[in-house]
Amino acid sequence: MVLKKYIHFLSFKLNLIHTGLIFLFFTSTVHAEKIYTLKFATLIPADTAWMKSINNWSDELKQKSNGRLVLKVYPGGVMGDEPDVLRKIRSQQLQGAFFTGYGIGRIYSPARVLEMPFLFQSTEESDYVRKRIMPDITQGFRNKGFELLGWPEVGFLHFFSKHPINSLEQLKTRHIWLWQGDPMGEAFSSAAGISPVPLSIMDVYTQLSANHGSIDTVYNSPFGALAMQWHTKLKYASNIPLTNGIGSLVVSNRFYKKLPNDLQKLLKETGEKVGAEINETSRRDNKKSIELLKQSGITFMWNWTDEEKNEML
């Protein structure tokens, strides 16, 4: 009787040990899986629908990768202007970003053909051309060390000013902001005889707010002017936009190639999806923003003449 109890006790202990070993095996396997952290920067302000999409993307990546792929987002320009972000990606402090046309041009300048002034009259025209040259743009990014994940537009860019602008000649008398270091902006300003004021985008609001600031006129999408609070310092806007601002979701190839195949596939598929989602939101919000800007007191004026358009080119 005592022997049976002792054998039963040993059997019970062995079962516990066996169960523990299985648990330790699976636990060590889970802990052994590498976690990849994608540090991602953007100028997009935190409390916007665009950032909501990016935050949802972060949640989706974490959930679908079982925690193996983590998207850590730095919104609102906390990592600096786009040239700063690009430098940080190249030095591996960051791994990805949402870039506007300015940042895109610093990676693969031919893509900015899509931002030629007055090239498109509608988003349908823009979509038609973009789809046909997108394979070349994607390969161009790859050749420069970046994987293109998505292509969300910033939207059509208007001039906004503290003073009335009814003509190109009148525009030339204004103190117009130029995104510092933007070769495309410099080229078109020169062609039109405009002498702009180069500034980092991070300094625009401060200069608009100052009593004797260096600028009184800027360009942005209607949504961008609202989201960045520039509209609170402005009174007038051009009716006809100058160009359709492009955007992109990118990740460094150095980081992308380190990912296992399943995580590469997940990042590409979800990046393309969130890019399309932001694009749809951008178009909707930009239309809505024009009405909100009008309600805030901004007067839309100045329809570019054909002669003025030609002068910009």
Per-residue 3-state assignment (H helix, E strand, C coil) for 246-298? CEEEEEEHHHHCCCCHHHHHHHHHHHHHHHHHHHHHHHHHHHHHHHHHHHCCC
What is the mean predicted confidence (pLDDT) over 20-46? 71
CB 311 within 8 A of CB 189: no
CATH superfamily of the 33-312 domain: Bacterial extracellular solute-binding protein, family 7 (3.40.190.170)
Paired tokens of 281 = 């939101």
pLDDT greater than 80 at residue 42: yes
Sign, CA dihedral 104-206-77-151, equals negative
The pLDDT value given to residue 245:
96
Going through 42-94 in order, the beta strands assigned E by DSSP cover 69-74
Average pLDDT of the segment spanning 290-303: 97
CA 167, 169, 171, 173 dihedral sign is negative
Least confident among 20-29, 180-189, 210-219: 20-29
* Residue 32: predicted pLDDT: 56
pLDDT value at residue 313:
77
At position 210, the amino acid (one-letter code) is A
Orientation of helix 49-64 relative to helix 261-295, angle to 10° = 160
Q: Which residue has the higher pLDDT, 122 or 11?
A: 122
- The H or E element spanning position 220 is strand 217-220
Q: Is the dihedral of CA 112, 115, 119, 123 positive or negative?
A: positive
